[in-house]
Amino acid sequence: MTAPNPYQPASDLLAGRVVLVTGAGDGLGRAAARAYAKHGASVILLGRTVSKLESVYDEILADGGPQPAITPLDLARATSKEYDGLGAAIDKEFGKLDGILHSAAELGTLTPLELYEPELWTRVMQVNFNAAYVITRLCIDLLKRSSDASVIFSSSDVARHARAYWGAYAAAGGALERLMETWADELENNTHIRFNSLNPGAVATGLRARAYPGEVPDQHPRPEEVMAPYLYLMGPDSRGTTGRAFNAR
């Protein structure tokens, strides 16, 4: 399914909303955090590297957006106590949550399954899949307090149709698609929370460069150029749409 194209979001599309973005220090997460803030959201920036989060924080303020919050968390090593602390901090500071964009991702390595290192497999599954489940689960009560909440799981071509050598990255992505569908089916009729996945396609990010080192860097759009579907799915214009697998273009 493709998001509306062209889509022109209202300037105040997300005014008054609180949105958590994982992987907010780089790439698509960084661009989405800035885009959400530009359209009025108070953004919670979650990532591993404090300096990167601080840079996004400064950019949001320079853009004139609402003051964001910074939440450093290493998803590969986070403990139950740290996850619980995240939920408690959001509850204390904001009292609700209107959206989550799961953008944090670990590429792993491109190698045959029989040669994949188990430790690396576990790390990729932890960052790309397990953390998304745990964060969503601990935030469900916060999302239920919203009159219109949206959860977006980041997807990819290999998450929808796996290919040789993509290993844990493809496996985690496929699992996320099923997780999205399960959440959507369970909560469609008794909450105002919608769950969808979004495949941005080929975008000029650091992860893309590591996966395809031979590509010309500027042959794909920059993250800032593909934000329309991220805004559409996070905002009220997609109200009532849940359990769908979207493509950005």
Helix (H) or strand (E) holding 47: strand 42-47
pLDDT tops 90 at residue 176: yes
pLDDT value at residue 190: 84
The predicted pLDDT at position 159 comes to 96
Nearest alpha carbon to residue 209 among 229, 198, 199, 223: 223
Q: How far apart are CA 172 and CA 66, in angstroms?
A: 33
Place of tokens 């609180």: 18
pLDDT at 119 over 90: yes
Residue 118 has a pLDDT of 97
Residue 5's pLDDT band (cuts 50, 70, 90): confident
Q: Contact, 25 vs 48, CB < 8 A?
A: yes
| pLDDT tens, residue by residue, 31-43 | 999 999 999 999 9
pLDDT above 80 for 217: no
Whole-number percent of the chain with pLDDT over 70 = 100
Q: Which CATH number fits domain 18-247: 3.40.710.10, 3.40.50.720, 3.40.50.2000, 3.30.1860.10?
A: 3.40.50.720
Identify the pLDDT of residue 163.
96
This prediction's pTM:
0.96
| pLDDT of the residue at 160 | 96
Taking residues 36-56, report their average pLDDT. Answer: 98
- Catalytic residue, candidates 36, 57, 169, 232: 169
230 catalytic, yes or no?
no
pLDDT at 3 over 80: no
Handedness of CA 151, 177, 79, 120 (dihedral sign): negative
Q: Which pLDDT does position 167 carry in this prediction?
A: 97
- Does residue 66 carry a pLDDT above 90? yes
Whether the pLDDT of residue 2 is over 90: the answer is no
